[in-house]
Structure 1
Amino acid sequence: MKNRIEKAVLVFLLLSQISILGQKNITHQKLFWIGYYPTLVFNKNWSLKNEIQERVFLKPFQQHQLLFRSDLERKIVEHWSGFAGFTFFLQSPNNPYAENKLIVPELRPNIGIQNNQNYAFFSVSHRFKLEGRFFAIVEENRLTNDYVFSNLRMRYQLGIDVPLYKKEQSEKIILKVKDEVLFNIGSKIVKNTFDQNRIYLGLQTVVNSNVAVEFGYLNWFQQQANGIDFYNRDILRLSLFHKIDFKNKTNE
């Protein structure tokens, strides 16, 4: 049954890609994302996953987005975990040449579940996530102190990890392949139920049991609200993962 589900998901992701390839009015952009991901491990069941990420356009060099995210995660049963969290998001104009540089805050509460399976030569993860989007109200090109609910967004991510190099029984270099599709839900969503698709390929180097560095490429294909225009973004990503294990310190 699990294999059938995985095959169905792969077919669905492929069809979603094919259905948008024929669309026109595509804006191409190049970006660089740098992120720091500290994870606080409290015990074998509970952890707090955090993220600080800066996203910038390369030509011209201009800030695009800045985000702060935290998710409290708990292991439910074998191979399954659940999480709930919150993201504070700062959105600059999607056009780096825009004269108006107003940065609009966004609040995103979210819940989700994740499944992880290990096989002989690779591992597979499935992440299902639901998030609400609240945007700061802008009046006469000025921010107010109020927020308005925009819509819900469903996200599904398929991830595959393939160890390429091991040393002393530890995985040192890991190939990471991910595909995530996002859908909008809400009364304000008329022409862009499909929101975006993200395909990622990266290499992670494990420095030690607590630190890993990852560099990769992400293609971000996003539909705009009018349903006709799209962004096709080529993104280089540099990430630092840092695990702070309170569980081991307690045992000491």
Structure 2
Amino acid sequence: MKFLIYFLSIFLLSVGVKAQTEKNIKNQSLLWTRYYNQLDLNNKWSVHTEIDNRVFINSVTQNTLVGRIQLRDKVTDKIELGVGFDYFSVATQDPEIINGFHIPEYRAQQDVTVKQSLGKINLSHRYMIEERFVHNSSKLMLEEGTTFYLRFRYRIQGDYTFWKNEKQYLKGIVHDELMINGGNKIIKNTFDQNRIYGALQFGVNKSIAMEFGYLNSFQQRASGVDYFARDIIRFSFIHKVKI
């Protein structure tokens, strides 16, 4: 609870600061497509892998390619722990600016997810820490070394099952996620971004599900006055496998 209060306090502070400063907001539209695999080793342990391709829609341009892997431990029915590694290859953050090279980023991540039920609604609270190593670069080329950043993330998510039978189901998903930057390299953008997401997930059978959703992302850049407001269409192919 103290952790959540800390996040909300920083978020409200950042909103107050932003309200007093000029904002340069760039609107962008993207399409995210991902393959998500959940390999259940037993009733307690599972391995989750993900490939996520992100492209700009207006002037179709590569944004980012993401690869993730994590090990998850189902401690109880209400608590899960996760540890993982991410690789990001960033082509550009603006389709009008093409660098001609991709910027690698390597992340370690740890999270605690707490689940609860409110009637027919399933809620989850995810508390995550990311250690980010971003490859140094100029406008012309990659340079030697990496820069280290911390990021703290809190996500509250709810889902509601509209109907289900023995093999299939249809459910709605909504979540809101707040991200806060940390580390001595962060000067003007302690607030990183907020993401709001809504989706429908259809279980084709016991192993395969499809998810189609919309994500709104509002992100502050390092300058403190520049922002990305992104409208994102997200399509996911979810594959569950049991050993």
Equivalenced residue count is 241
Question: Aligned in 2, Cα 1:9/1:235: closer, same or farther, shift over 3 Å?
Answer: farther
| Aligned-partner residue type, residue 163 of structure 1 | T
Question: Aligned in 2, Cα 1:202/1:10: closer, same or farther, shift over 3 Å?
Answer: farther
SS at match of 2:184: coil
Structure 1 residue 25 corresponds to structure 2 residue 24: yes
Decide which of 172, 175, 189 is 1:192's aligned counterpart: 189
Structure-2 separation of matches of 1:149 and 1:213: 37
Structure-2 separation of matches of 1:66 and 1:218: 17
Structure-2 residue corresponding to 1:148: 146
Structure-1 residue corresponding to 2:117: 118
Structure-2 separation of matches of 1:243 and 1:143: 38
1:9 Cα deviation after fit: 9.3
1:36 Cα deviation after fit: 0.3
1:17 Cα deviation after fit: 8.9
Alignment identity in percent? 36
Cα deviation code 1:47-104 (max 9, x no counterpart): 0111100000001100001000011001123410111000010112211011423210
Contact 2:87 2:104 in 1 (8 A): yes
Structure-2 residue corresponding to 1:249: none
List aligned pairs for 1:9-158, cutoff 5 A.
15=12, 19=16, 22=19, 24-138=23-137, 141-144=140-143, 146-158=144-156
**C-alpha RMSD over aligned residues:** 2.6
Any stretches of 5+ residues in structure 2 without a counterpart?
A: none
List aligned pairs for 1:102-251, cutoff 5 A.
102-138=101-137, 141-144=140-143, 146-168=144-166, 172-246=169-243
TM-score normalised to structure 1 length: 0.87
Any stretches of 5+ residues in structure 1 without a counterpart?
A: 247-252
Question: Aligned in 2, Cα 1:160/1:70: closer, same or farther, shift over 3 Å?
Answer: same
- Which 4+ stretches in 1 moved above 3 angstroms? 8-23
